[in-house]
Amino acid sequence: MPPTPIPRPTQPSDVEHNKAVMATMLEAFNTGNIDTIPDLLHADAQDNSTRPDLGGPPAPAAMHWGSQVQTLMEAFPDGQYGVDTMVAEGDTVILRWVFTGTHLAPLFGREPTGRQVAMYGYEIDRFQNGKIIDHTDDDSPVFSLLTIGVAR
C-alpha cells in the first residue's frame, strides 16, 4: 500500500494572497494611509491582543490598529515597519515584524527622548474569504518602549 500523500492547500494562491495582505498592511502603516486598513479586514475581524498601554482590551481590529499605528507614527515620525519573517499555511499567517524609528514627539504623556528604537513583534492572523478575521500579537513592543522611558 502506498504512503498517504502529504496534504496540500487546495488553493496555494490563497496562501500567497494572505501574505500579500500582510505586506499591504505594513505598507499602510509606513505610509500613514490607515484608511485602507478596513479594506483588508473581514467585517467581523477581531483584535484579540490585550495591551492596556496601546489601546485596551480586544476591540474591532480596524479601530484598534488605526489608533495604535497613528499613535506610534506621531511619536516616531521616521518610523518604519518591516518584515523579519513571514510564514503562511492554510488560512493563517505568522509574522515577525520590526519597527524602527526615533522618538521625536510626545508618547503616552512622555516628552520625546530623541532615542532610536528597534521593536520586534509577533502576530498571528487568520483569514476568511481573503481578509483578516482574527488577530493576536504579543507585548514585546511595550518592553521596547519601556527602554526609552515612554511606557510605564
Which residues, 6+ apart, have CB-to-CB distance to 18 below 8 Å?
Answer: 88, 91, 92, 93, 125, 127, 130
- Average pLDDT of the segment spanning 54-59: 49
The structural domains of the chain, with segments of one domain joined by +, span 12-147
CA pair distance 67, 50, nearest whole angstrom? 14
Which residues in 18-52 are b (16+ Cβ under 10 Å) and which e?
A: bbebbeebbebbeeeebeebbebbbeebbbebebe
CATH architecture of 12-147: Roll (3.10)
35 pLDDT tier (thresholds 50, 70, 90)? confident
pTM greater than 0.85 (yes/no): no
